[in-house]
Structure 1
Amino acid sequence: MGKRILIVDDAAFMRMMIKDILTKNGYEVVGEAQDGQEAVDKYNDLKPDLVTMDITMPEMDGITALKQIRQVNPDAKIIMCSAMGQQAMVIDAIQAGAKDFIVKPFQADRVIEAIQKALN
């Protein structure tokens, strides 16, 4: 059964790339959000199995959104996405409860590996 995933990134192109990787591998993309506040709202509405969350976004960054989602659901499975050179933010995200992180530009096999690991 395909797992339900919410994709969060302020760049439409990045959302499209990750959606393409996920759908080709049998995952169902149940929603997309372009900032942290929209991510929190959609998480509560859609109850996805997993979220891919960009770190740097307008309105609310990914780490703040991660913390808010985990207040609602401590078992939420969230994988952070970051560009190169954001190691300090990645450490913050892992400490805040992120399951893993993937680096942009996305490598399809790394995305799938991180998602399978987080879901198991």
Structure 2
Amino acid sequence: MLVDDETYMQVFVGRVLASSINCTVTTARDGQAAIDQCEKSDPQLIILDINMPRVDGVQALGRIRALKPDVPIVMLTSISEEAVVEECVTKGASAFIRKDVRADLLQTELQEMLQQFFSDEKAAP
């Protein structure tokens, strides 16, 4: 599941996911929609932006972690404030990826993250 309110990020990250591993990508535009989807489905991975309307990623992280304690949750964000990062770690974030980098670097980081969590799946370089 990819949770981001920015359409271009949903498209870009969705393409990287689909081309890197055999998966179906579901999307949500805010934290509340992600929480609702997690109550009804079993995502294998959640990529969660921090800055979103209604319920932000930090709030959603805690609620999703309570619903899905074993699912990797990767924070995809441009926020680097230490207090926010620490709060996400405390609430159970599995990893962080900065989205304010060049597209090729973001793609490489996403692929490395996928290999970490899905080493037995097809992982395209």
TM-score (norm. length: structure 1): 0.85
Which secondary structure state, in structure 1, belongs to the residue aligned with residue 53 of structure 2? coil
1:18 aligns with 2:17: no
CA distance in 2, matches of 1:27, 1:92: 32
- Structure 2 residue aligned with 1:60, among 49, 55, 70? 55
Instruction: Give me the CA root mean square deviation.
Output: 1.7
Gaps of 5+ in 2: 120-125
Question: In the superposition, relative to structure 1, how do residues 93 and 31 fare at CA in structure 2: closer, same or farther (>3 Å)?
Answer: same
Which secondary structure state, in structure 2, belongs to the residue aligned with residue 47 of structure 1? coil
Moved more, 72-81 or 15-24: 72-81
Match for residue 48 of structure 1?
43
1:84, distance to aligned residue in structure 2 (A): 4.8
1:7, distance to aligned residue in structure 2 (A): 0.3
> Contact (CA 8 Å) 2:18, 2:25: kept in 1 or not?
no
Which secondary structure state, in structure 1, belongs to the residue aligned with residue 46 of structure 2? strand
Higher strand share: 1
Structure whose alpha-carbon radius of gyration is higher? 2
